[in-house]
């Protein structure tokens, strides 16, 4: 809890503590770390300290998932930790990103959605962007080959991270190889958005590495979830993270001002509360905050489960994560699914508005008022 003192009263404000697992930086296609997990909690220092008693060794020191997972006796302590009823969907939140799939969704968001918007369409309507992402994720390696697809996805990552002077030509060479390799003629039309050089100037707008970093959308979602859970506003403390530090100003712009009411925006199951109900975002050292250590253990355990699930393997820890309901801690799972219809995607709900347009207008107006 953060305590704010003034002459008239003392206000106790909840703090949300966040830590991540599986962050490989620019290497989003690292086969050893296919998932990014962000975990958060709202525990007090006393609660978090008590939870850590399950895993603390006789030698003391900070309990880290990366260390505990190496020894059978430590795994048993981790399972006891995860079994504590205080670790539940009201006190813990997780975001799960399949990094390879996220690259495909960014292809769709940054290129296809932009181009379709320019001609008056709305790819977000009824989950069209999700449907296209799923279709591309499954069909590109099937029709164009896994090696060709890997080369294309890496070329896209390089273009967004390093810019056109260094990576544009290689991106379109890889795109042409995708078209030439496709064994399905009908599928080639879905690749036009991404492989036609003449469209480049209509979608490329000087992106940077933040556009491909899962840490940023994961934290955004976490703050949205806690904003819906809490009746009052809260602070956010994140373990040291360069992407989050670089995005701190943007997050500040997205937070509601003093006395400003948030509204529900978006469509179907993708409705969110905006502007964000957090009051601040700061970073801290996990050695000083037992709550960050709890977040590390939760993120590490979920990352372990998804790595096991992806390889078709399981062990005592991955089985415990599932059996103990740890997957219920979150609602933001960016995972590929073989679904393309609004009904199957859960995106056929009535009404609503384009949340991206709403947020862009809000940020533009707030930037104008700040300058």
Q: Where are the domains of the chain?
A: 100-211
pLDDT given for residue 94 in this prediction: 97
Going by the DSSP 8-state scheme, the letter that residue 182 receives in this structure is -
Tokens of 85: 């009823």
Buried b (16+ CB within 10 A) or exposed e, 156-182: bbbbbbeeeeebbebbbebbebbbeeb
More confident residue, 353 or 140: 140
Nearest 5°: phi and psi at 84? Answer: -65, 130
Tokens of 107: 């292809």
The two beta strands, 92-98 and 35-41, are antiparallel
Beta bridge partners of 156: none
Tokens of 105: 């969704």
Note the pLDDT tens digit of each residue in 51-64. Answer: 999 999 867 778 99
- Whether the upstream peptide bond of residue 64 has omega within 30° of 0, thus cis, is no
Asked whether the CA dihedral 313, 319, 325, 330 is positive or negative, the reply is: negative
Beta bridge partners of 278: 234
The residue written with tokens 């909840």 in the block is: 14
pLDDT given for residue 11 in this prediction: 42
Note the pLDDT tens digit of each residue in 268-325. Answer: 888 999 999 999 999 999 999 999 999 999 999 999 999 999 999 999 999 999 999 9
pLDDT given for residue 371 in this prediction: 56
Residue 355 has pLDDT above 90, yes or no: no
d(CA 283, CA 127): 34
Tokens of 161: 């991270």
What does the mean pLDDT of the chain come to? 92
d(CA 362, CA 272): 14
Note the pLDDT tens digit of each residue in 75-116. Answer: 999 999 999 999 999 999 999 999 999 999 999 999 999 999
Task: Detail the DSSP E strand segments found in the chain.
Answer: 2-5, 10-21, 35-41, 92-98, 234-239, 263-265, 272-274, 278-284, 332-334
Q: What spatial distance separates the first Cα and last Cα of the chain, rounded to whole Å?
A: 33
Note the pLDDT tens digit of each residue in 23-51. Answer: 998 899 999 999 999 999 999 999 999 99
Beta bridge partners of 284: 239
Nearest 5°: phi and psi at 187? Answer: -70, -25
Closest CA to 303 of 327, 267, 328, 336: 327
């Amino acid at each position: 809890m953060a305590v704010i003192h003034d002459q008239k009263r003392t206000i106790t404000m909840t703090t949300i503590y966040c830590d991540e697992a599986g962050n490989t930086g620019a290497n989003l296609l690292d086969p050893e770390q296919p998932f990014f997990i962000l975990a958060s909690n709202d525990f007090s220092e006393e609660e978090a300290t008590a939870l850590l008693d399950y895993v603390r060794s006789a030698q003391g020191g900070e309990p880290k998932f990366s260390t505990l997972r190496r020894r059978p006796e430590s795994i048993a302590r981790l399972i006891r930790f995860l079994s504590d009823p205080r670790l539940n969907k009201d006190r813990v939140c997780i975001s799960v990103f399949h990094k390879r799939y996220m690259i495909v969704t960014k292809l769709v968001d940054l290129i296809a959605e932009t181009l379709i918007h320019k001609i008056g369409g709305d790819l977000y309507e009824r989950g069209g962007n999700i449907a296209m992402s799923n279709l591309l994720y499954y069909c590109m390696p099937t029709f164009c080959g896994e090696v060709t697809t890997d080369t294309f996805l890496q070329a896209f990552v390089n273009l967004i991270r390093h810019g056109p002077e260094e990576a544009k030509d290689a991106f379109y060479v890889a795109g042409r190889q995708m078209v030439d390799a496709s064994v399905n003629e009908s599928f080639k039309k879905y690749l036009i958005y991404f492989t036609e050089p003449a469209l480049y100037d209509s979608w490329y707008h000087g992106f940077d590495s933040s556009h491909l970093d899962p840490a940023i959308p994961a934290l955004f979602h976490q703050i949205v979830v806690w904003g819906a859970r809490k009746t009052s506003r809260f602070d956010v403390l994140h373990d040291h993270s360069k992407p989050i530090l670089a995005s701190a100003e943007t997050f500040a712009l997205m937070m509601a001002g003093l006395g400003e009411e948030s509204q529900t925006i978006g469509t179907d199951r993708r409705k969110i509360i905006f502007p964000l109900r957090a009051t601040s975002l700061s970073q801290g050292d996990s050695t000083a905050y037992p709550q960050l250590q709890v977040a590390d253990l939760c993120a590490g355990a979920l990352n372990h489960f998804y790595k096991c699930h992806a390889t078709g393997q399981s062990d005592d820890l991955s089985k415990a994560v599932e059996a103990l309901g740890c997957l219920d801690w979150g609602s933001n799972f960016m995972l590929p699914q073989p679904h393309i219809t609004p009904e199957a995607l859960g995106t056929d709900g009535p009404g609503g508005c384009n949340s991206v347009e709403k947020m862009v207008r809000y940020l533009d107006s707030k930037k104008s008022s700040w300058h």
